[in-house]
Amino acid sequence: MKAVFAGSFDPPTLGHLDIFRRASPIFDELRIVVGHNLHKQPLLALEKRMDMLRRLVEADGLPNVTIDSWDGLVAEYASAHGCGVLVRSVRSMADIPYEQTMASFSRRLDERLETLVMFARPEFADISSSAVRELLAWKRLPRGIVPDLVQKELELSFGPLLQS
């Protein structure tokens, strides 16, 4: 079975990488899809995010993971690429109502789609790309939030970042 895990990944975090690692063995193919979030102005160019994701997946040895992009509804991407499952991650119970609504709408778009919700590990539950972007605005980025590869790319783009 093929699945899609979509997000803006702006930037990719250790929480994202943890979901890739945990979801990959469940499916024959896991497609990581970098989408366009209508409510966010991107920090990093699409090509930069896709490059980082490719390198993270390659370094982790996840051969059944493909990186792609899509400028549309994730349910339509899944249908167009023969994926029957949408993988979603939640950090806390506060995320559940939103994810439940999205799962319902995805099924309305394609009744064959199932949504698999994976809970963030406790050590990653406070991490979000939005929080990373805010920390970057203050030139701060503590260790343990983004993979080292992403940390280096962010420092190339934004200069030295104070860490704790």
pLDDT tens, residue by residue, 8-22: 999 999 999 999 999
> Which CATH superfamily, name and number, covers 2-125?
HUPs (3.40.50.620)
pLDDT of residue 37: 76
pLDDT of 163 strictly over 80: no
Is residue 92 within 8 Å of 101, Cβ to Cβ?
no
Ranges of each domain in the chain? 2-125
pTM of the complete model beyond 0.85? yes
Full 3-state SS string of the chain: CEEEEEECCCCCCHHHHHHHHHHHHHCCEEEEEEECCCCCCCCCCHHHHHHHHHHHHHHHCCCCEEEEEECCCHHHHHHHCCCCEEEEEECCHHHHHHHHHHHHHHHHHCCCCEEEEEECCHHHCCCCHHHHHHHHHCCECCCCCCCHHHHHHHHHHHCCCECC
pLDDT of residue 51: 97
pLDDT of residue 53: 98
pLDDT of residue 158: 85
pLDDT-derived band at 161, boundaries 50, 70, 90: confident
